[in-house]
Structure 1
Amino acid sequence: MNSITLEKWSDVVLPIPARYRAVITRDHKILFHETDMTPFINQDQRTFREDFMMYQFDGDNIISIVIKDMPFPPTHFDTFTDGTLLLASARCVRTDDWIQKNAGRYSLDGECLYKFVLGDGISAVAIDDEDTIWAGYYEEGVYGNYGWDEPIGSSGLVAFSSKGEVLFRPHLPMINELYYLNIQKANSIFAYYSLFSAIIHLDHFGRVQHSEIEEVMEVGPITIINESLITYDYHSKLLWSLKKQEGVYKKDKAFALKDQEGNDLYSEESAIRIRGNWLFVLNDSGIYRVELTMRMLEE
């Protein structure tokens, strides 16, 4: 069995709910909060006001950001190029006379710089190196719920300006919920749609490819290196390299993820993240990472 060795980046162990929610930023920091979101599910969104503590960790230091009186529960987050935070809620209510602003840009002092609408049913958000916000949507965000007869996320993926203005919706042959986004730069927008197990690669607002995965696998976080699709398969618990054959991706090589002592890193409580070509494992022993390269995958 091929394997890839990850270095131990930190001994810090995130609580299980926090590691599942954690996001890797473009500059490879970890952004997370530890708040249990369950009590907020049935709260009236018109009157919702709660304080939240966000944490940003860079391997050596951790900073805390107190956000007071937030008008929505932050389920998705990332950072802009100046370090300010994007915080967003997966749900967005619309009525005849009101639309919930379910996203905002916040300073590291906790000040809300501005709020805006990203729509209902958000499955993922990520910001590219030009401060374009990309939001992916699950089924209810694509087909409509919570009062949205014409949902913002009907295309499954939407690009917004840093102030929430819609810039772009890709026109794809078949749309369903988007599971994963990996965005490091504006010329490398990678998205995975569940329908037909399709991989989308956009360069800014132009489509580079729309290809299917012709394999039975539980696709996890993704990236593309040269012509190879890299994804973690939660079913086999292996990292896979897939090559394109006759227009579709097929399995090529599998890799176990190991620490420097040769121990398996994945367990049921682990969280796997990929941002750009960097792969992170957050588990009960700490935080591990490695930069994936084509040479590593071909050895």
Structure 2
Amino acid sequence: MDTSNTLKIHLDRVTASQVTGKHVATGLTISGQIMMIEQIYDTKRHRDVLHVHRLFDQWRTTTIVAQAETEFSYVDAFSDGRILLVASRCDDDVDGSWLPNAFIYDSSGHLLDRFCLDDGIQNVHVDEKDQIWVSYFDEGVFADAATNSIGSFGLAVFDEHGQAVFKNKDYPIDDCYALNVCSSNDAWFFYHPDYRIVHLENGKGTSYAAPLRQFSDFIVHGEHLISTDNDNTYLLKRDGNRYDEQARIQFESEKGTPLQGTIKMRQDRIVLSTETRLYAGTFSDFIVE
């Protein structure tokens, strides 16, 4: 790839995304809604609490969750509005079992349920059937592989009560780097050591070779794919059974200022989080020659 070939992509500022506390995590729901967790000190409670925002461009709704001691990494929502917060890591109890790292709250911030989705979580997506897709990085895959833990499969799907309904048995995943669940019958993932991009469609998988480069999020549109590891973002194009890099991507604001931050991708949407606000766009907004 000619690294001098840089494609500049404009992202729009999400008006109601001002961050006044500590940004914890950003997520994209199956309906395309942006969610954001912010940690803020509550002067009445005299402690930090979590503000979980649902963003609607120029306005947002906020749910206050008192449990700020858990280091949550992922946020998503179920079809009825319940909120799912998940920590990437989980501790083990005195009997050796894993403690809960997935917590479900109602729109008022009341805890409804909690359970363990295993340790070493790389990504979490809820689909339109309220199934929870979970990918795992290497520590989750190998930490308890001898006991055949769910994380050892690299990719699994759970129902809304935390019961596994699918475990990957077709791909030798050591580390599931990236996940993009577009629907219950249309999901993509990228795994190591084979550096393969897999498309699961109606229960059937098709895999494509990819450049030997790790990325944590990606979106697909037609023959093109955008991948990112937050530091570097690339445009790829499918050629037969493989994806090849075409150009480096630089995101910029509406004023043409280069943007750098944490990037989340799902379906064909991109959200970039800076320290003070969010910027968003869709793949279909970009013209690719």
Q: TM-score, normalised by structure 1?
A: 0.79
Decide which of 28, 32, 35 is 2:37's aligned counterpart: 32
State the alpha-carbon separation in 2 of the partners of residues 54 and 260 from structure 1. 27
Deviation at 1:144, TM superposition (A): 2.1
Deviation at 1:84, TM superposition (A): 0.5
Is the Cα contact below 8 Å between 1:241 and 1:297 reproduced in 2? Answer: no
1:151 paired residue number:
149
- Partner AA of 2:269 in structure 1: W
State the alpha-carbon separation in 1 of the partners of residues 73 and 146 from structure 2. 20
* 1:265 has 2:270 as partner: no
Is the Cα contact below 8 Å between 2:103 and 2:115 reproduced in 1? Answer: yes
Which residues of 2 match residues 73-222 of structure 1 at below 5 A? 73-92=71-90, 93=92, 96=95, 98-145=97-144, 149-203=147-201, 206-213=203-210, 215-222=211-218
Deviation at 1:131, TM superposition (A): 0.8
2:3 paired residue number:
none
State the alpha-carbon separation in 1 of the partners of residues 263 and 8 from structure 2. 16
Is the Cα contact below 8 Å between 1:272 and 1:282 reproduced in 2? Answer: yes
- Partner AA of 1:243 in structure 2: R
1:64 paired residue number:
62
State the alpha-carbon separation in 2 of the partners of residues 57 and 265 from structure 1. 22
Secondary structure class of the residue paired with 1:242: strand
- Partner AA of 2:250 in structure 1: A
Of stretches 135-144 and 3-12 in structure 1, the one that deviates more from structure 2 is 3-12
Decide which of 245, 259, 279 is 1:288's aligned counterpart: 279
Q: Which runs of 5+ in 1 are unaligned?
A: 37-49
State the alpha-carbon separation in 2 of the partners of residues 192 and 16 from structure 1. 33
Of stretches 153-162 and 216-225 in structure 1, the one that deviates more from structure 2 is 216-225
Output the aligned Cα RMSD.
3.0
Deviation at 1:226, TM superposition (A): 1.6
1:43 paired residue number:
none
Deviation at 1:156, TM superposition (A): 0.4
The structure with the greater share of residues assigned to strand is 2
Superposed CA offset, 1:105-150 (max 9, x none):
21011222222221122121110111110111112211125x9833
Distance of aligned partners of 1:14 and 1:195 in 2 relative to their CA distance in 1, 3 Å threshold: farther
Secondary structure class of the residue paired with 1:75: strand
Count of paired positions? 276
Q: Percent identity?
A: 22
State the alpha-carbon separation in 2 of the partners of residues 154 and 67 from structure 1. 31
Decide which of 250, 274, 280 is 1:256's aligned counterpart: 250
* 1:276 has 2:267 as partner: yes
Distance of aligned partners of 1:12 and 1:249 in 2 relative to their CA distance in 1, 3 Å threshold: same
State the alpha-carbon separation in 2 of the partners of residues 271 and 159 from structure 1. 25
- Partner AA of 1:224 in structure 2: V
Is the Cα contact below 8 Å between 2:150 and 2:167 reproduced in 1? Answer: no
Secondary structure class of the residue paired with 2:220: strand
Distance of aligned partners of 1:174 and 1:17 in 2 relative to their CA distance in 1, 3 Å threshold: farther
1:298 paired residue number:
288
Secondary structure class of the residue paired with 1:264: coil
Q: Which runs of 5+ in 2 are unaligned?
A: 1-5, 42-46
Secondary structure class of the residue paired with 1:141: helix
Is the Cα contact below 8 Å between 2:74 and 2:86 reproduced in 1? Answer: yes
